[in-house]
Structure 1
C-alpha cells in the first residue's frame, strides 16, 4: 500500500519554482484531488460529475468530520510504517517467493531420490524398512511414509547423528525391489528436503535462530497495519472515474501520479491475501504466536491429537505430534504385530492415501496419519496397539473444531500446499506483487523530496501533532485498541512505542533549533 500519499513535481531534476505550469494537468493536493486553480488557468472538463451520494464528493469544509481529522494521522502512520517496516517486508516477500517455487524445484533437484521406474508389484513395507536399516545401521527408524503413487519411493525417517536434532534422516527406498536410492535431511511434518528447509529457515529467521524470528514477527505484526491504512487512504481519495479505484491509470503521465496509481490499484488487489498472510504468519511467531495459542485454546479451537497411550510403561514417548521429526525417540520393546499388519488395520479404519506411519515408543502405540493437505483434505488418524492390533483411538478431521479446521487450512495455504501447484503459483504472484508495491512506495517517497538548491533530501511526511485534531470519541477508542493490540503483539507495541519516542525527541530538538534561531 502507499508509503506516502503526497504530491511532488514529476521532474525531480528541475527546482519546483522553475518548472513550467502544465495547464492541461490538474495539480493534486495531499490526497491526490485537484488543487484550487490559479487565476486565469483554464478549467478542464471533468469526466464525471460528483453527485451528493458520491463518496468522492468533498466534505463541507464548514463541517469537518472524523475522516478529515483521521486522514492526516493515517498518512503519517502509513508513511513511517512503510519506510521503516518495508525492508523487513521486502526480505519476507523475497524469501517467500523463493519458498513458493521450491516445491517444484525439489521434484527436479531430488528426482533420483523421489522417483523410480514403475515395477510389477511392491514388496512388503517391513522389507523396505529393513533395507533402510541395513544401509544406515546407526539410525533409529521413527516413521515411514509409504509410496502412495506409482513410481514414487518410500521414505524411511530416522533419528541419526548425521543430521541436526530437530531434523530426520530421510532414506529413500525403491518399493518394488528394496533398493536404497539415497538419503537427505528432512524437516517438519511437510517433509521439507534441504532446499526447501534452507529457504524456510531464511524466511522464518534469516538462519539466526530465535533472534532472527524477531524480523518475521515484526513484518507480520505491521503488515496488516500498512495494508489497512493503505486501503483507507486509497478509498478516501477523490477520483474523476470510479475505475481508477481498481485499475491503474495508464494515461497518467510518468512520475509520482502514475506510480501511485499502480501502487494503489495493485495494493487493492493484493490486500485481502496480504491480510491473510499477516494473520497466519503471526501464528508461527514467537511472542504473538503464544498469545494466539492461548486464545485459540480458550475458544475451544485446539487441534485434537490422537491418543496413542497403551497403558504399558512410560507414556511420555514423543514424536506423535509430528510426522516423524527428529529428537529423542525411545524404541518400543515387546510384542509387535509389525508394519504391514498395522497398515491393514489402519486401512480398515478408513485411513488411506498419503500416509505417515509413526513407529511406537515405550508406552505409545503406532500412529497412522493421513497427510494429504490438498483440497479436499484427508487428515484422519488412528492409533494402534503394537502388541495385539487393538485400535486405541481414532481422530477424524471432520470432527475437528471449526477454529482448528480454519487454522489448519490457513497454515497449509500460507505454506503453499492447500491447493498444490495453484496455491504455489498464487503465492509467487502475491510475493512478486508485494515486492513491486514496496519499490513503488520508495519511489514515491524519493519523487517528493525537496529539490531546491540542488540539496539531496528525503521525502517529507505529514506534519507532527495530527493526532491532536482527532475528536475525543475517535481518539480514546483508538488508543484503547492500540494498547490491546500492543499487548497481544508485543513486538508491534514495542516498535510503535519506540517510534513515538524517537519522533517526539526529534520534534523537540527541531523546535529547540528553531527557537535558538
Structure 2
C-alpha cells in the first residue's frame, strides 16, 4: 500500500524545478480541502437532488386522485371552461382566481389556482375539477410556476434550503459554487496523472483502485456537473443576483409580454374572473387562433379591466412557451410573445433551468439527473476513502501536503490570485469559503510548527 501512494506522489526534486508541479501541488491542496470540507454539502445536495429526480413520478402516484379523472364516453365534449371554474368556486369560494390550467387531454383534471390567504409564499390553492362532469376531485397547495403539489414541493424545498428558509439556501449555493471548481480541478489532475485511463483499472488494488474509480467516474460526469453548477447558481441568492445583473447589462434577460388590454368599465377582470361561459372560452379560442396549444395556463389580470395572459406550459423538447394577451371584452389578442423571438441567452437559461428541474426531456431527463446524483455520491464516498487510505498516520506524506505550492513562480501565484479574486467577487460564497480555507491552512501550519 505504501509503495502505491509513493508512486502517486511527484518527485520532490522535480516539483521545484518548474512552475507546473508547484501549481499542481496547489490544485491538489485545493481539491483536498474542497473534498474534505465542501463534500458534505455536495453529498446533501446530491442526495436531495436524487430524491427530486424521482419526485415527478412520485407525485403522479401520491396525488393520482386529484390529477386524474375517469375517461369520458367516446365523443363526449368537456364542459365549458367557465362551468368548470364555477364548480371550483362553489366548492372553494375563498380567495381570488389567479390562473386556470385546463385539462390538456382526456383523463386529466382542470386545475383552478386560487390566491387564498394563509398559504406560503409562491403557493396557491389548486382545485382539481373533472372537465366532463364538473366534479371537484380535491384541492391541494400548488407551489411555484411548475405547479408542484405537496410531495414534490416538500422534496423541492428540502433540496433547495433543507426547510430552513432563506438561511438554508446558503448550503445549496455553497455546493453549487464549489461543484464546478472541484470538477474542473479533478479533470486537470486526471490529465496530468501518469496513469490516467478513461475506464477504472479493475486490476488495481488498494489506493490505486480507489483513485482509478474516482478519477474515471469524475471524468465521465464532468459536463453534467458543470451544467448542474451553472444552472444551480442562477437560482442562488448571492451569485444569482450577480447573474441577473450580468444578464440585464448584456440584454440577455427573458423578455416580457409587450401589450395589455385597455380598461373596460363594468366588465370582468376584478379578480374573480369571467362571469359568463363566453368570457372564459372566448379567451381560450383567441389563444388557439393565435397558434397556442395545450397544455395552457390562463392567468387572470392583476387589475380590473386588464388583459388575460394565456401561456403555453409545455417545457419538454421541443418546447412550446409562446404567450398572448387577450382583451376579455372583445376576445382580441392585444400582445404576443413568441419563444422563438427570445434572445439566445434567454433560451439557454430557460433550457438550463428546465433541464436542472428534470422537465426538459421528461422521464429521460429525470433518469439522467438521478444517474448524475448517484455518480456524484459515489465519487464523494471514494474521495473520503482515498483520504483514509493515505492518511498521514500510516507513515507517509500525502501528495496534497502543505507548502508545495510555494515553489510556484510569483507571476503564476499572482495570476491565480487575481482570477480567484474576480471569481470570488462574482460568486461570493466561493470567495468567502476560499479565504476560510486559507485561514485554516495557515492556522494548522502555525500549530504544527509550535508543537
User: What TM-score, normalized by structure 2, do the two folds share?
Assistant: 0.93
In structure 2, the partner of 1:70 is 23
Equivalent residue number for residue 65 of structure 2: 112
Q: Which residue of 2 aligns with 1:96?
A: 49
The equivalent of 1:251 in structure 2 is: 203
For 2:203, what is the secondary structure of its paired residue?
coil
In structure 2, the partner of 1:42 is none
Whole-angstrom distance in 2 between the partners of 1:410 and 1:249: 34
Give the CA deviation at 1:162. Answer: 5.5
Measure the CA separation in 2 of the matches of 1:161 and 1:460: 59
1:448: how far off?
1.3
Residues 387 and 83 of structure 1, relative CA distance in 2, 3 Å threshold: same
Pairing 1:361–2:302 present: yes
> What is the deviation of 1:304?
0.9
Residue in 2 that maps onto 1:125: 81
How big is each residue's C-alpha offset from its partner over 1:272-315, in whole Å with a ceiling of 9 and x where there is no partner? 1001100000000000000001101111111011135334399x
Identify the match of residue 295 of structure 1 among 246, 251, 258: 246
Q: Is the 8 A contact 1:245 1:265 kept in 2?
A: yes
- 1:61: Cα distance to partner? 4.6
Q: Secondary structure at 2:120's aligned position in 1?
A: coil
CA displacement 1:241-293 (0-9 Å, x = unmatched) = xxx5210111112x221111111111111111001100000000000000001
| Preserved contact between residue 146 and residue 154 of structure 1 (Cα < 8 Å) | yes
Q: Say whether the 8 Å CA contact 1:358–1:368 is kept in structure 2.
A: yes
Partners of 2:417 and 2:185 lie apart in 1 by 16
What is the rounded CA distance, in whole Å, between the counterparts of 1:62 and 1:180 in structure 2? Answer: 73
Alignment partner of 1:422 out of 364, 374, 379: 364
In 1, the alpha carbon distance for the partners of 2:428 and 2:53 equals 28
Task: Return the match for 1:480 from 402, 418, 437.
Answer: 418
1:226-265 equivalent positions in 2, closer than 5 A: 226-239=182-195, 245-253=197-205, 255-265=206-216
Distance in 1 (CA, whole Å) between partners of 2:232 and 2:295 is 26
Residue 255 of structure 2 is matched in structure 1 by 304
- The farther-off stretch of 357-366 and 135-144 is 357-366
Shift of 1:67: 2.1
Q: Structure 1 or 2: larger helix share?
A: 2
**Aligned twin of 1:144:** 100
**1:86-485 to 2 correspondences below 5 Å:** 86-119=39-72, 120-161=76-117, 163-239=119-195, 245-253=197-205, 255-312=206-263, 331=271, 338-362=279-303, 364-451=306-393, 462-485=400-423
| TM-aligned CA distance change 1:461 to 1:206, over 3 Å | farther
Using the TM superposition, name which of 115-124 and 290-299 deviates more: 115-124
TM superposition shift of 1:461: 6.6
Structure 1 partner of 2:6: 29
Measure how far apart 1:182 and its partner are: 0.6
Aligned equivalents of 1:290, 1:183: Cα separation in 2: 35
1:498 to 425, 436, 446: 436
Deviations 1:121-170 (A, max 9, x none): 21111110100000001132110001111111111111113532420111
* Whole-angstrom CA distance in 2 between matches of 1:383 and 1:452: 70
Change beyond 3 A, Cα 1:161–1:461: farther
Q: CA deviation at 1:479?
A: 1.0
Contact 2:300 2:309 in 1 (8 A): yes
Partner SS for 1:476 = helix
What is the distance in 2 between the residues matched to 1:81 and 1:214?
A: 16
| Alignment check: 8 A CA contact 1:263 1:437 kept | yes
Structure possessing the higher radius of gyration over alpha carbons: 1
Cα deviation, 1:326-349, whole Å, max 9, x if unaligned, reads xxx972789986110000000000
What is the number of residues matched between the two proteins? 443
Q: Distance in 1 between matches of 2:398 and 2:163?
A: 35
CA contact (8 A) 1:446 1:459 kept: no
Seen in structure 2, the aligned counterparts of structure 1 residues 157 and 470 have a Cα distance that, compared at 3 Å, is same
